[in-house]
Structure 1
């Protein structure tokens, strides 16, 4: 079993949203995607012995994946109280040894000023809802403020936007790869049991 598969298997116990809010585009990040993102970050030296901040952590999938790879600590932020309660339970299920803190706050205006070397991980809203357009822009701005490096998941076709935003904010994309998101039927407007959408993952170094 590969390291990615083993990590995904550990994350399979992470519960998703009990009452997801469509306005916040609340979907459980698939364990396989979280494992791939965090494994790649670990290979680049961006997890072990670093503080990891998960913006918009939801029920904690990315935060807990990072916590299994030897960080100095993990902070998961989310504006919604209910998913954070689930994240607390998910940590017990996963059984991480690293220190994990859950903070209820607007991830785009995170009340943090890390003094440690910091990596940001996030699966931000894609801005698919009319009242949430360009939501990932605010998340990237927060990542630029908080971390030396960030890993983020975006809708397919976002490369030009992400690279341009990074360049305008003292950053540069150093790695990118494609992925798929399997989204279950959780909202009334869904007419399929599951839907697979194309996504892109980016590593950005921030000055």
Structure 2
């Protein structure tokens, strides 16, 4: 078992990138610092170890890898991109008995048993409302807890909070921090892009 958040961050830095990243899908690998913080928060709140975890929009598997390192019982990795799932499969093969790869559109995805959802959904820059679509799906799965990353601003926080509360969940901003995204698309002019994001912990109201 990984002993510290720093050790987890180092291990997550090994996550592979996308072979053919799609700007429409807003694909980028969650940086290891942000990914480790999200997973560590979920782990410390007892929502990872021995739990059935779903990673919505798993990409190449960085959050799934973190959950597995922290003792998840099973991880369902869902993504629309077949190539990304192949990369995730190869990256996570040492955990193969615990991994379930699902190629699906998030709107059509369903799994019967899930205890925790983890995700870094699209920010909704190129597909307006994509972040909310992912959050709605996570809530529809009715897990005990959801850990998610969203671009932070006061207005979006209000929208997210109201949606969560309508579904009978409570929400807490655990961290507001910078996320770092390398220049992987032609329109990127800076070597590293920085975004202000919020890491949310969402739980059934009586559990938060």
SS in 1 for 2:53: strand
**CA distance, structure 2, for counterparts of residue 71 and residue 195 of structure 1:** 31
**CA distance, structure 1, for counterparts of residue 172 and residue 194 of structure 2:** 26
Unpaired segments of 5 or more residues in structure 1? none
Could you tell me which residue of structure 1 aligns to residue 98 of structure 2? 99
Could you tell me which residue of structure 2 aligns to residue 57 of structure 1? 58
Query: What CA deviation, in whole Å up to 9, does each residue of 1:28-55 have, x standing for no partner?
Result: 0111111111111010010111100000
Paired residue for 2:128, among 122, 128, 133? 133
Conserved 8 A contact 1:144-1:206? no
| TM-score (ref. length: structure 1) | 0.91
Could you tell me which residue of structure 1 aligns to residue 149 of structure 2? 153
Unpaired segments of 5 or more residues in structure 2? none
Instruction: Give the Å deviation of 1:108.
Output: 3.1
**CA distance, structure 1, for counterparts of residue 177 and residue 66 of structure 2:** 17
SS in 1 for 2:171: strand
| TM-score (ref. length: structure 2) | 0.91
| CA RMSD in angstroms, aligned pairs only | 1.7
**CA distance, structure 1, for counterparts of residue 144 and residue 120 of structure 2:** 18
Query: What CA deviation, in whole Å up to 9, does each residue of 1:158-184 have, x standing for no partner?
Result: 321211111122211034311221111
- Distance verdict in 2 for CA 1:19–1:104, change over 3 Å: same
**CA distance, structure 2, for counterparts of residue 72 and residue 65 of structure 1:** 12
Is 2:109 aligned against 1:110? yes
For these two proteins, the number of residue pairs brought into alignment is: 201
SS in 2 for 1:53: strand
**CA distance, structure 1, for counterparts of residue 179 and residue 173 of structure 2:** 19
